[in-house]
A and B are shown apart, each in its own frame.
Chain A
Amino acid sequence: MPPTPHAAAPAAAPPAVLPQGSPVPNRPITLSINGHDHVVMVEDRTTLLDALRERLHLTGTKKGCDQGQCGACTVHMDGQRVLACLTLARQAEGSAIATIEGLAGADGTLHAVQAAFLAEDAFQCGFCTPGQIMSAVACIREGHAGSEAEIREYMSGNLCRCGAYPHIVAAVQRAAAALPPEASS
């Protein structure tokens, strides 16, 4: 990567200062997703969410509001839950990214949170569910799933238009009982 915009840059890099309105060309970056490195061509302004969905075709991570208000795009960066819609793909370079596609075991065994969402019928349309599940995995790992009130507070960044909240809370409680804190990654 170019150490400064004025220093000698790789041939693929665009000039540091572009005339207003000129498009920034695609350039390659490497993203570590679910334990595998992917080289992907992105514009500088491409979000992690668009890189996942439009370039790598990992469409499990959903685009709801695209403005940081709904939580449908929740992924993990270095173990922390973040919003992929407000993260630039280039900011995610060098971090370990985990998405819903990487949650189940290699043999297809569901993660305890996924199994709990099925057992508790914790969704209707399912659009918010990948974000809910990724958020819930982190919520339990953080130790913030101790009570119904705590779960509601620490899951408040994930909206559900169908209003499945009581079942989502039940699923998080069920999964938290199966997974001790700090051991659910």
Chain B
Amino acid sequence: MRDFAYHRATTLEQAGPLAARAESAILAGGTTLLDLAKCDVIRPAEVVDITRLPGLADIRADAESLHLGALVRMAEAEGHAAVRAACPAVAQALALSASAQIRNMATLGGNLLQRTRCAYYRDPASFPACNRRTPGSGCAAAGGITHNHALLGTSEACIATYPGDFAVALVAFGAVIEIGTRWMPAEEFFLLPGETPHREFALEPGEIVTALCIPASAASRRSAYLKLRDRASYEFASVSVAAGLELAADGTIADVRLALGGVATIPWRLHAVEAVLTGRQPTPAVLREASLLAMQGATPRPDNRHKLDLAPRLVHRALEQLLQGDAA
């Protein structure tokens, strides 16, 4: 790991300019930054510890929204009664992430910014070619083992999967991200790789995520997060789905929210599936018809073709679970 200088920021006004300097990196829980620094993927000359900044670790819920400070630790949000009531999918996504130790360390803001687990990205010594790490250098994954690489939102330059769970739930429920004094929908925060996979988030140098806000909705209150993995625990998603449902008095679907994790380069909202379901009776045939659209537009590879079947089935299962009132 390269030598770096450590600064502990005491105010947001101080932290921004420090973090904007060349070769500077923001340090919060450390579970991504220090890991990738040890892998030589991120090589900061200085780190700016923001964990002691005041006022960024609140959880508040009211009739309008659920507000989560960026420095709230994953474990605190996972177990918080207001989170569980306002959006069970968020609490479940957090509880199904990482390990208990990492959830005690990692912050919600940092969780959004976690980097892909693409093995080629994480190993620069063995695989110099990575457009995400070194623009223009190529993509070692393209000819490699792609079992958990993305099928959706990919480009010629990059097929790395977005690894997080929490952000999948945020995108499903239309969360907005507070960046100092400006706000941005979560869906616009994550950038498709295109020809610039090294630009992963819609953040300018020195900008700091300060809070996440989930608008209150009936679908959010009746929601769930389902996650399939290659091992039972402490593993990234093979496929995951955040789902929320609101039924009208006549039993038709008034509102439905769906997003996929584990299969796309960014948290993947299923607008097409939602559109097919909205306003209809949730019969088994309708659920099947809609779920089958989940992987529309996918570009599979031989190693990950199974997810074309796996993802629609998990979407279907999530909807059935919510209909049975088994949301929590």
Q: Which residues of A contact B (CB under 8 A)?
A: 1, 3-5, 14, 16-18, 20-24, 43-45, 47, 66-68, 71, 74, 80-83, 85-88, 90-91, 135, 138-139, 142, 144, 152-158
Contacts and interface: CB of A to CB of B under 8 A. Distances in A.
> Which applies to chain A's interface (DSSP): helix, strand, loop or mixed?
loop
Contact of B30 (A20, A88, A144): A88
Interface in B1-19: 1-8, 10, 14, 18
Contacts of B7: 4-5, 16
Interface pairs A-B: 8 shortest CB-CB? A157-B99, A156-B233, A44-B6, A156-B234, A80-B104, A86-B34, A157-B101, A24-B3
A17 B1 CA distance: 18
Nearest to A94: B52
Interface of B: 1-8, 10, 14, 18, 21, 23, 27, 29-31, 34-35, 37-39, 45-47, 49, 51, 75, 98-102, 104-105, 232-234
A71 B3 contact: no
B3 A82 contact: no
Given A4-B14, A68-B102, A82-B104, 17 more contacts: A5-B18, A14-B5, A16-B5, A22-B3, A24-B5, A43-B3, A67-B38, A71-B99, A81-B104, A82-B101, A86-B35, A87-B105, A152-B233, A156-B99, A156-B232, A157-B99, A157-B100
A85 B29 CA distance: 12
B239 to A, nearest CB: 19
Contacts of B21: 17
20 contacts: A4-B10, A5-B7, A16-B5, A45-B2, A45-B3, A45-B6, A66-B38, A67-B38, A71-B101, A80-B75, A88-B27, A88-B30, A88-B49, A90-B8, A135-B100, A135-B101, A142-B100, A155-B100, A156-B100, A156-B233
Contacts of B46: 5, 16-18
Contacts of A74: 101
Contacts of B47: 44, 88
